[in-house]
């Protein structure tokens, strides 16, 4: 009597109608802020020749990834919050899982590259131009996307080979590895540990590299008390705030057996919604150069 599941039911964040309306308004506003804020950063960096340093090149790529990341989950979630029956086809579910891990892993690698950029700028300022040339930046960004693709394709292939014969209710508002493989009709312990070693260890390794780089930066700044180093440290502080919000929930969710713990759908909101919202706010409100360029862009467009 084996039959393959053709669609999944997304249980969402709540089944209370009033809360669903509240969540719709909140997440619609958040999604609009992500789109407008990150698009504004991209346009500003592209329009101002003064923002041509590797830091702003990488920031521009981070903004694009944030738009992609939140667009994988938010539009579907907004539609489901207004729908009575929240179903998603099996193929669409796998596609969402693939693209979420694709852009998510790419963002992890890019944040690591951005930390390396700050480390080079502060700890090796005389060699910064040679080390972080435009060609090197392009290679690093391409490597981030390639690494994200390899990570995601492994997760996807491990998922689609599992048999799904029911139940088909996913206790989340999007398709992700932990809630999906809980529905498999077989013992998934081997697959589960392969996925943990993939997603969990990548998250942990990137986070440890980031912490190490910032440790070297703090040691360097402690020795050199110049104005330029303190300015760079301010940039690192905002960067560290973003990576903490992004990596800690990912490590908590992916670096443990999936089937042994309940759903963490409310924690998923942090890295799928809050982090993409925080990035444009942190990188614009705390950066005088970006704010000045935005003001010039506004003056140019107004007149």
User: What ranges do the domains of the chain cover?
Assistant: 7-301
The tens place of each residue's pLDDT in the chain, 303 residues long, gives 445 788 899 888 888 888 889 989 999 999 999 999 899 888 888 888 788 888 889 989 999 999 998 999 999 999 988 888 888 999 999 999 999 999 999 999 999 998 888 888 888 888 888 888 889 999 999 999 999 999 999 999 989 888 888 788 888 889 988 888 888 888 888 888 888 888 888 999 999 998 888 888 877 776 665 555 566 666 667 777 778 888 888 888 888 877 666 667 888 888 888 888 887 777 666 667 777 777 777 777 765
The token duo for 90 is 């099996």
Contact (Cβ atoms closer than 8 angstroms) between residue 162 and residue 184: yes
- pTM of the shown model: 0.89
DSSP-assigned letter for residue 273: I
89-104: burial string, b at 16+ Cβ within 10 Å, e else: ebeebbebbbbbbbbb
Please report the sign of the dihedral spanned by the C-alpha atoms of residue 281, residue 282, residue 287, residue 290. Answer: negative
What are φ and ψ of residue 170, in 5° steps? -95, 120
Token pair 């000045």 is at which residue? Answer: 292
Q: What is the pLDDT of residue 272?
A: 84
Q: What's the fold here for domain 7-301?
A: Rhopdopsin 7-helix transmembrane proteins (1.20.1070)
Q: What is the pLDDT of residue 102?
A: 95
């Amino acid at each position: 009597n084996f039959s393959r599941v053709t669609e999944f039911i997304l249980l969402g964040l709540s089944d209370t109608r009033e809360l669903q309306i509240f969540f719709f308004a909140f997440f619609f506003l958040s999604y609009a802020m992500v789109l407008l804020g990150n698009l504004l950063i991209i346009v500003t960096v592209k329009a101002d020749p003064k923002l041509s340093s590797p830091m702003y090149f990488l920031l521009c790529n981070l903004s694009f990834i944030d738009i992609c990341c939140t667009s994988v989950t938010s539009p579907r979630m907004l539609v489901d919050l207004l729908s009575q029956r929240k179903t998603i086809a099996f193929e669409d579910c796998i596609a969402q899982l693939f693209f979420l891990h694709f852009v998510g892993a790419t963002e992890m690698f890019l944040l690591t590259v951005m930390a390396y950029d700050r480390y080079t700028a502060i700890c090796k300022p005389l060699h910064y131009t040679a080390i972080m040339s435009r060609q090197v930046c392009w290679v690093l960004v391409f490597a981030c996307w390639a690494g994200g693709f390899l990570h995601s394709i492994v997760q996807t292939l491990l998922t689609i080979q599992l048999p799904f014969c029911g139940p088909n209710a996913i206790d989340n508002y999007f398709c992700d590895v932990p809630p999906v493989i809980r529905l498999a009709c077989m013992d998934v312990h081997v697959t589960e540990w392969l996925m943990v070693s993939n997603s969990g260890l990548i998250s942990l390794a990137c986070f440890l590299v980031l912490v190490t780089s910032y440790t070297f930066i703090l040691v360097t700044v402690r020795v050199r008390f110049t104005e330029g180093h303190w300015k760079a440290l301010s940039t690192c502080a905002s960067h560290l705030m973003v990576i903490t919000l992004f990596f800690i929930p990912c490590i908590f969710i992916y670096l443990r057996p999936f089937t042994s713990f309940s759903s963490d759908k409310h924690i998923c909101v942090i890295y799928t919604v809050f982090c993409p919202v925080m990035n444009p706010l942190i990188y614009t409100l705390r950066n005088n150069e970006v704010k000045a360029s935005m003001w010039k862009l506004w003056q140019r467009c107004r007149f």
